[in-house]
Structure 1
């Protein structure tokens, strides 16, 4: 099937939103003056240290085609292209799946998988893709042809239920139990092996857990909240065996051009929040124990046009505000040069620098800033009038002093925590938070 190439356009509706400006000394005095407050209420939740020191929020370039990467020039905007490996159904082991109902690959069903052969092939593929045993980066198993829970194989994935019924019609076994046990075995053994062979990598499956909160009949409603349906949340609770073995979580954030801004914001927020909520399970040690890296598609699902400035905030900005460890720009290779240089790249420079500055100012570099009220629309953004220089970023990442306590950095941008204000004409602006609203929750590293 031919893929439709995205077409770049400035997408003027809605326009990029202006951010209120406040002088650097005043902003930092407000932030530093509030720093001690969260620590008085008790010990803060602990998180794993960032994968790369000094970078509380990391953007990974998950597009592996070198020619596409050269055109996009992602490195110049601080994205990490070398520390991300995304494996698909045909690139790691003998993953069973169907191309269509009559074309199985590796016998099609997890019930037919010979684990020894699968693991042997997995070892060969992993050595070819990541030759260094000390690989330090993200490892994403993007196996989504079928889901390990019988009831979640709907629509296109329903073919796996049909194939199971045909194969086992003469056997007196539970179709659901047989399928789920085999699926769990394939996933667990694969995860165990990649973690053994590349122990420094952060391994996990995408898109688990699933939220299924983008039903068009719901997103169009005025009272749409974006929360995961109770039935989906209950199914996620049954995947505890998976959360206990992953070393990172990789939610999938995709948007459709037909979804209104409020719906896009709610979808992204609650998908990221569902991943963080999974870590509240009693079997896990800490609320923030597993790092979360949402996988963000840079195009709308139906139109294949690039995300607008507003929806970059609804995906990347929302992820940073919720306290995730970073995001993965994930997509098939398409010409992206103009989009990266004019829209995506500058926004990424803005938000990664803001997260670094907030971490240095409020956490002394020992944690990341997290939105105090998950339901608010406060974001970590820099005023657009600021100039992000390589010197400032390097100084910040190396942890060098940027000035006396209470003063602003001598070089570089000022920090503002912003919220959206909806005007009568329907347009939004980002406004600086008042001191009470600016107080973030701190997520300290272990």
Structure 2
């Protein structure tokens, strides 16, 4: 096994002999075999042990055992104690999830504190098979069936090449002491039930079941890599970035096959679950324009011939006042404000983000606000009033674009639809004495 261990580390580029490795030691057979393999290979290791305070005296005895073994082998030992039940209650998560979060958060903190390069966790082939079956039961999709990766950022799993049987045989051969966690046999936990009740039945049918699942997960990982690359290539070709938003033609999406797989592949980056993606697919095929769909972080709008994806708005102030002596504004728009004497030959910059208005027509404070239903203005160059909603329709504003519009108002009158259109009543004329220039800085 020592040779297989070395080969696995090299093949998967887990770490080098120059790296100091922090070992996550529970005291169980897997982690203690990992410790033996690491020290036998002459690697520089520290050991960290998590006491989750979930099994009373048994938890404390695990810590005492690991500390004793580390002292015997002259390995630096770092203990960590956690109030796991309290953490789980605060977060509203299971004890297993709480322990996992606490463990990894602490391990990653220790990396910096101890000048270690990686954290090594003693997952094995059986863990891959268990995770595969659990994710299959939960319907997590392709990514969930790709197994546990040998290396994820600063986390390495150098024991993934071995199954539990070979680990047990190695421990017996080398007289490796270890602890047994009594909770590992409680089948009320899904993983334990899969381990003790389901997998043995499969092994009766196929003795090589664990290895077969491990190999299958590896092939699915390769398939997932191909799928992800295809998705990224199509995404960069089809989706157009508009600031922080993305827009894609419904017609161009409809030419992709199989469309459900492509659509889910595109949208999962914005955390849209599969069931919402299925509803979006229905809306694409004949839904009403303006229909909206939500993920925890984003919103998708079915807008005429396009899908528009925007981040969920952060609700803040919707009204900002501008005094007569103001020269800048940092939010909600980055603006520069300056006053100029109207001189003969003055030319208004041809830039939609710059408004030049007759300062004598303004009443302070000016107000920068969101548009409201019932708003109207007199578009520059027109003789009559127009509803703002009609202006949006005429200029084919999407829902997202309308929501981002800011209105500069003087009293009850609109001065400027910021970045879009000036009100004719505030235009510069031959009677204008002073000009107020408002610039939106990109």
Higher helix share: 2
TM-score, shorter chain, exceeding 0.5: no
TM range (shorter): under 0.3
Query: What's the TM-score, normalizing by structure 1?
Result: 0.26
